[in-house]
Structure 1
Amino acid sequence: MRVRKTAQDRAGDILVAALGLFQRHGYAEVQIEHIRAATGLSRGGFYHHFGSKAAVLQALVDQEQSALAKAAGPDLLALLRIGSGYRTAPPGVEASLSVPEDVTLYLGYLERAQDSHLAPLIEEALQRGGDLPMPAPHAAQIFLAVNHRITRQVLTGAWTRGEALSFTRSALLGCEAMLHRPGLFAPALDALEDGD
């Protein structure tokens, strides 16, 4: 007897298959036909869930950022610890990107997903810490802007790992000063030192 899957389960199957294909072959090399064949869906079945390969990428990025938000909650240090786990964690979808246009597409999706999933948590975490010298939404956006800059420089090959870590240290110290909260990121800074 064939089990009928829900639309959400079917979409989840597509994302799992696509991520596996992207990681093995690279995002640029995978076509919708490859994803469709890996899931056993018809063309119509695939397009019912995703209108394009880019829509699959967007959903994967959103899924990753949603998982990060759920794992960290409104805890800045947890967010930094889990979010920087890329140094030791299995590669995500970003590791499958090799074409500059695909990296640009990914970065746009990442920015939107982080604004949606992470910005509210950062705001909440900052507000929990007491008085701020600026509105919490502004501080959260500055925090994310710095993160986007680091991610862009790493993914485009402009910075080495060492350059990214050095800038991250400076950025965290700068954010402490901006927020008037010396030592706020001390555990994250210590972890960066241990990671060298």
Structure 2
Amino acid sequence: MEIACTDTCRYERFMRTRLPKSERRADILKKARQLFTDRGLSETEMEDIRLACGISRGGLYHHFSNKRAVLDALVEDEVFKLAETLRTTGASPIPALLEAGSSHLGGDAGVLPALRTQAEKLDYLSSLEQAFSTILTEALCDRLNGSVRDGINPEHVAELFLTINAHINRREILGRWSIQEAAGFAATSLKALAPLMKVPTDLDPIITNLEKKASMS
């Protein structure tokens, strides 16, 4: 005999699978990132994310209004991780940031490989630059206190570094520079920044690594 599921039964089943808000958001982003990586951003729809998470449309749209909002959140999470690296590492701040965040130096490329079209790449760059401005600038400035030479404003050094980084990102991601050209420009930029630091030689290993990358054919 078939037994109908009552409203109470449905509610109890729902409660068994319900996650706290923060965990649900993290689960959505985890599933979305995997889908973006496997299929590409353009080939993934909000419905695909919903089905992967096993939640209702209302449950998904409560957290994210559209796919761009999901992308923004993924980028913000990546930048939060970089900021946390800056706050917790004992290493010199600029090398620590580059080693954690630069794909040239072995850092995680994040959702970048999922981007196929120029429009998607422009959306990503917009999200990245906004996240750098609101999240990373303050963290880098805090860590540069005591790391720059006397009389040098650490906020200016942070802004200068992140402006150069944004320039490199935009040219490389949009295909205007090769990996070698981007690495070469990064090495030259760090040489220009080094005299502003109390210990300029902290940047030497990064510069050497980038110069090797730039010389590869």
TM-score of the two chains, using structure 2 as the length reference = 0.81
Aligned length: 196
The amino acid across from 2:67 in the alignment is: K
The offset of 1:182, in angstroms, is 3.9
Mean Cα displacement is larger for which, 157-166 or 120-129? 120-129
Map 1:63-142 onto structure 2 (within 5 A).
63-73=77-87, 75-85=93-103, 87-89=105-107, 91-142=109-160
* Unaligned 5+ runs, structure 2: 1-12
Q: Distance in 2 between matches of 1:166 and 1:44?
A: 48
- Partner secondary structure for residue 27 of structure 1: coil
Aligned to 1:189: 207
Alignment root-mean-square deviation, CA: 2.1
Q: How big is the shift at 1:177?
A: 3.8
User: 1:184 offset after TM fit, Å?
Assistant: 4.2
For 2:107 and 2:152, how far apart are their aligned partners in 1? Answer: 34
Partner of 1:13: 27
| Superposition deviation, residue 69 in structure 1 | 1.6
**Equivalent in the alignment of 2:59:** 45
User: Once the 2 structures are TM-superposed, how far is the Cα of residue 43 of structure 1 from its aligned partner?
Assistant: 1.1
Equivalent residue number for residue 174 of structure 2: 156
- Aligned in 2, Cα 1:94/1:28: closer, same or farther, shift over 3 Å? same
TM-score after normalising by structure 1: 0.89
Percent of residue pairs identical: 34
Is contact 1:50-1:56 (8 Å) kept? Answer: yes
Deviations, residues 68-98 of structure 1 (Å, cap 9, x unaligned): 2212337222111111245535541111111
* Contact residue 86 and residue 96 of structure 2 kept, 8 A: yes
| Max Rg structure | 2
Does structure 1 retain, via aligned residues, the 8 Å contact 2:41–2:116?
A: yes
Letter in 2 for 1:170: T
Over residues 39-60 of structure 1, what are the superposed CA-to-partner deviations in whole Å (9 max), with x where a residue is unaligned?
A: 1111111101101100000000
* Secondary structure at the counterpart of residue 107 of structure 1: helix
Distance between the aligned counterparts of 2:163 and 2:120, measured in 1?
Answer: 20
Unaligned runs of 5+ in 1: none
- Runs of 4+ residues over 3 Å off in structure 1: 85-91, 130-134, 177-182, 193-196
1:29 matched to 2:47: no
In structure 2, the residue matched to 1:169 is: 187
Letter in structure 2 aligned against 1:51: S
